[in-house]
Chains A and B, each alone.
Chain A
């Protein structure tokens, strides 16, 4: 595979692999020497108190951090074995591989159908004909378990859906692009328990086909909905283990303290 760097540890089973990743917002350092290997096909959660760098890390993986000129990055990040900071790498291709779902659902103010097709049209230049487009829309909506609810109102504006349905739509619009990694930045924090449950079920369905990295403030969610867990504190990775094991027998005292709710 082109664009590899020797010390990236290119294990084909790794979806995301970082080495010595450092990031500065201006003069403030947000990430310190992050070395992480996230396995393919698993749901990995990232927990930690506010400001520990979880969202920053997430936004680095799909390079959406770099819009601002005061962001400086050192180190390597490999996604599916390819260095995303390589000189001949197109941002477009990185974002094709890595999809992102945000905290607050952000459907575009256009119809449901057009939302789903937005990413697809960008990447294929709108070459699909109508029946292909219909198939894509149907398959994406079926995967997020939204097809039955919205199949009659595909041309309605996406903002008329409930928050939970909007979030599912945001997930659905990533699928036609066929990413391998899904990054989720607190996807359920704006939803009620029923909505949260629905989205968590969906994520459980999607694992295996997709690698899912989910940042969450909700430890209970991390515990019930992820297979591996990463604990970060003050820009550093403290622990990265199988979820059940980490919650039962944490190795570090900071982890213990956090899990037991001594600080938040």
Chain B
């Protein structure tokens, strides 16, 4: 840096080039860093979006099935197969041949492990063998003479050689004795079902000529020896049609018979009387099966359609069989329906050898594939529904890997009304888990989205008038000294942790509201009327008193008035109102007006969330109104407009872009608010606009259920989908708001 010359008039000191270079370099570096910062923010938001989509997308990917032949010597696979099953680890399979042999074999290499004879020395051929509907491993084998043997296969896993070398050790036993039971004297069993529950063991057989035999074994625990004893009874039924399929509900109450004209007969096992006949198709029923849980019955017909039905109870406790949904996709008769053991899905096989995978709740056809080897003679689905073993008549064995992770999710199951089991009509329900494995998960996002909107709406109803009118007064009418105190205080309110607000709302305000419902509701009337009355009295009051208060400081006067009105409403008018409503407003509401009351309800949430949202809206709106050039206000006043007229006709329209922005930001905040809703509502996912009922929002739902959901399960991914829905909603609302704001800005720009 050169120093200025010592003589002569003052000259402009010239800095060196190096200094200028350094300055401009600093400038460029700064602008690049700031630009980079902006890009990083955009990148972060995009990354969030991509991660959400990454976690959600497997929900909508199609299922895959790929098969391969099992190599090995299968000389022992002679003869037809009556029964086939695979165990959990998909290593060992169990087969009963038509000649009466029970065989265990390794899938790897088709290596035979064990074989034994069942029944009376294998003289009679097996006509039909079925597994227990409840998947206990119990198998009922029916012989030509109409007798039935009950045997059970189970497996032990030996990890002594390490996990990778686990060995599965099969065993076969006869838990109910090895003698054969006579089920249908005279033989001719064409259909058989076995259902073993905790209270009873039931065998139902359909025979030629419309005969039905039901063997009912009540289980009783011998309290001396601890053994289970069976008390048997037999019920019979003779029907006039040809029975093509038979199924029984898991509570053993309903027996279903399919006939060859396409009807399902609904029979009450207590009376053995036919209660109803449902026509499900014009062609005959070719197979029937119960779904997991034993509530729904699936009936497949010879046209290739499958119908799901279950009994529905009405108000008088009468049951009727309702047709719930239909599934299409087969061109030939449905010969076999296999329900999944742990989900409400099922597989079907038709006479052409096409295998379809469906899911009942979602109403989805997941997979349609023609099997390479044609129509298999026996099929077994692994317990995890990820593997399928097919045996063919020529001794070939194929194993199919099924990749079907999220069958219960479809757009319809997420957003439309679904008819769930045991409900009398289709409903929007969110109930993600229950205590048993047989539970039908109900993943409708509609109640959650509705709850989000309901909470946001009531919060905005409470917050908008207060925040906007407060902002208009503070910016335009309030004295600057008072405004300097008020504005920072309200902005500090924004920093209040919402957990505290939720806590106060749920634990103090909700009970208080319940106790003083009449008083609090009366406040809605008392406050505005009282304040306006005071304002009128003040303006018409004596000038002497008014001189004590400078212009713009009047709000201070309102503070004691506000407290007095609140006390008046709660302590005086509240009890008075109870007199009118027979002592209890709440029960009066539910009796006369049909409005139910929940302690943690939308009114509590509206007030608490409104309280959280008011500082945000106030701050931005107040800045917008304060920023309107004073010259506009002066011009309007000079023309003779009153301050109120100037506010409404000139100031607020000019500030409308900023005010609109404030409202949209407040709305975005209200929609995403989690803690307040979590603590102050009942978290009940109902769809009701009732002010006195709770709700469950998308955000609160995620907070409550995420810690408890299994990673990468359907439930987990659906929670991420809820987050994605919230994200998109906020994004769309903000974009629309910004567009409207730009339009307003151009319309009302005053420069």
A interface vs B, CB < 8 Å?
62, 64, 66-69, 91-92, 95-96, 99-100, 102, 104, 106-110, 118-119, 122-123, 159, 170, 173-174, 177
7 additional A-B pairs beyond A64-B637, A107-B635, beta carbons within 8 Å, are: A95-B637, A99-B638, A99-B639, A102-B638, A106-B635, A108-B650, A109-B748
A122 and B641 CA atoms in complex are apart in Å by: 6
Q: Is the CB of B631 within 8 A of A104?
A: yes
- Chain B residue contacts of A108, Cβ below 8 A: 632, 635-636, 650, 750
A119 and B639 CA atoms in complex are apart in Å by: 5
Taking the closest CB of chain B, its distance from the CB of A180, in whole angstroms, is 13
A100 and B634 CA atoms in complex are apart in Å by: 9
The answer to the question of B384 belonging to the interface, with a C-beta cut-off of 8 Å to chain A, is no
- Chain A residue contacts of B642, Cβ below 8 A: 91-92
The answer to the question of B106 belonging to the interface, with a C-beta cut-off of 8 Å to chain A, is no
Q: Is the CB of B640 within 8 A of A96?
A: yes
The answer to the question of B749 belonging to the interface, with a C-beta cut-off of 8 Å to chain A, is yes
A261 and B631 CA atoms in complex are apart in Å by: 31
Q: Is the CB of B749 within 8 A of A69?
A: no
A123 and B551 CA atoms in complex are apart in Å by: 25
A123 and B641 CA atoms in complex are apart in Å by: 8
Q: Is the CB of B640 within 8 A of A122?
A: yes
- Would A106 and B634 be within 8 Å (CB), given that A69-B479, A123-B640 are in contact? yes
The answer to the question of B645 belonging to the interface, with a C-beta cut-off of 8 Å to chain A, is yes
B interface vs A, CB < 8 Å?
479-480, 550-553, 629, 631-632, 634-643, 645, 649-650, 653-654, 747-751
Q: Is the CB of A102 within 8 A of B639?
A: no
- Would A102 and B640 be within 8 Å (CB), given that A109-B654, A159-B751 are in contact? no
Q: Is the CB of B640 within 8 A of A119?
A: yes
Name B638's contact: one of A64, A66, A107, A159 (CB within 8 Å). A64
Tally inter-chain residue pairs, CB-CB below 8 A.
72
Closest-by-CB residue of A relative to B633 is: A67
- Would A109 and B645 be within 8 Å (CB), given that A64-B637, A102-B631, A173-B639 are in contact? no
A68 and B653 CA atoms in complex are apart in Å by: 23
Q: Is the CB of A109 within 8 A of B749?
A: yes
Q: What are 8 residue pairs bridging A and B, where the CB atoms are less than 8 Å apart in the complex?
A: A69-B550, A95-B638, A95-B640, A106-B629, A108-B632, A109-B747, A118-B636, A174-B639
- Chain A residue contacts of B480, Cβ below 8 A: 68
- Chain A residue contacts of B552, Cβ below 8 A: 69
A237 and B639 CA atoms in complex are apart in Å by: 28
- Chain A residue contacts of B751, Cβ below 8 A: 159
A95 and B748 CA atoms in complex are apart in Å by: 26
- Chain B residue contacts of A102, Cβ below 8 A: 631, 634-635, 638
Q: Is the CB of B639 within 8 A of A69?
A: no
Taking the closest CB of chain A, its distance from the CB of B645, in whole angstroms, is 6
Taking the closest CB of chain A, its distance from the CB of B475, in whole angstroms, is 13
Q: Is the CB of A106 within 8 A of B640?
A: no
A104 and B479 CA atoms in complex are apart in Å by: 25
- Would A69 and B553 be within 8 Å (CB), given that A95-B639, A174-B639 are in contact? yes
Q: Is the CB of A159 within 8 A of B639?
A: no
Taking the closest CB of chain B, its distance from the CB of A126, in whole angstroms, is 11
A92 and B749 CA atoms in complex are apart in Å by: 27
- Chain B residue contacts of A68, Cβ below 8 A: 480
- Chain A residue contacts of B643, Cβ below 8 A: 67
A109 and B552 CA atoms in complex are apart in Å by: 27
A9 and B138 CA atoms in complex are apart in Å by: 120
A109 and B750 CA atoms in complex are apart in Å by: 5
Taking the closest CB of chain B, its distance from the CB of A18, in whole angstroms, is 19
Taking the closest CB of chain A, its distance from the CB of B474, in whole angstroms, is 15
Taking the closest CB of chain B, its distance from the CB of A61, in whole angstroms, is 11
Closest-by-CB residue of B relative to A95 is: B640
- Chain B residue contacts of A106, Cβ below 8 A: 629, 631-632, 634-635, 750
Q: Is the CB of A69 within 8 A of B551?
A: yes
Taking the closest CB of chain A, its distance from the CB of B492, in whole angstroms, is 26
Taking the closest CB of chain B, its distance from the CB of A217, in whole angstroms, is 18
Name B653's contact: one of A92, A109, A177 (CB within 8 Å). A109
- Chain B residue contacts of A91, Cβ below 8 A: 640, 642
- Chain B residue contacts of A110, Cβ below 8 A: 653
- Chain B residue contacts of A109, Cβ below 8 A: 632, 653-654, 747-750
Q: Is the CB of B653 within 8 A of A118?
A: no
- Would A159 and B635 be within 8 Å (CB), given that A69-B550, A119-B640, A122-B640 are in contact? no
Taking the closest CB of chain A, its distance from the CB of B150, in whole angstroms, is 90
- Chain A residue contacts of B747, Cβ below 8 A: 109
- Chain A residue contacts of B637, Cβ below 8 A: 64, 67, 95
Taking the closest CB of chain A, its distance from the CB of B743, in whole angstroms, is 14
- Chain A residue contacts of B632, Cβ below 8 A: 106, 108-109
Taking the closest CB of chain B, its distance from the CB of A10, in whole angstroms, is 24
A99 and B552 CA atoms in complex are apart in Å by: 25
- Chain B residue contacts of A95, Cβ below 8 A: 637-640
Closest-by-CB residue of A relative to B650 is: A108
Taking the closest CB of chain B, its distance from the CB of A1, in whole angstroms, is 20
Q: Is the CB of A122 within 8 A of B634?
A: no
A99 and B638 CA atoms in complex are apart in Å by: 6
Q: Identify the interface centre among A91, A102, A109: most chain B CB within 10 Å of its CB.
A: A109
A109 and B645 CA atoms in complex are apart in Å by: 15
- Chain B residue contacts of A123, Cβ below 8 A: 640
Q: Across chains A and B, which 8 residue pairs bring their CB atoms closest together, nearest first?
A: A95-B640, A119-B639, A100-B638, A106-B631, A106-B635, A69-B550, A109-B750, A69-B551
A6 and B550 CA atoms in complex are apart in Å by: 30
Closest-by-CB residue of A relative to B479 is: A69
Taking the closest CB of chain A, its distance from the CB of B292, in whole angstroms, is 67
A102 and B638 CA atoms in complex are apart in Å by: 10
- Chain B residue contacts of A96, Cβ below 8 A: 640
Closest-by-CB residue of B relative to A109 is: B750
- Chain A residue contacts of B650, Cβ below 8 A: 108
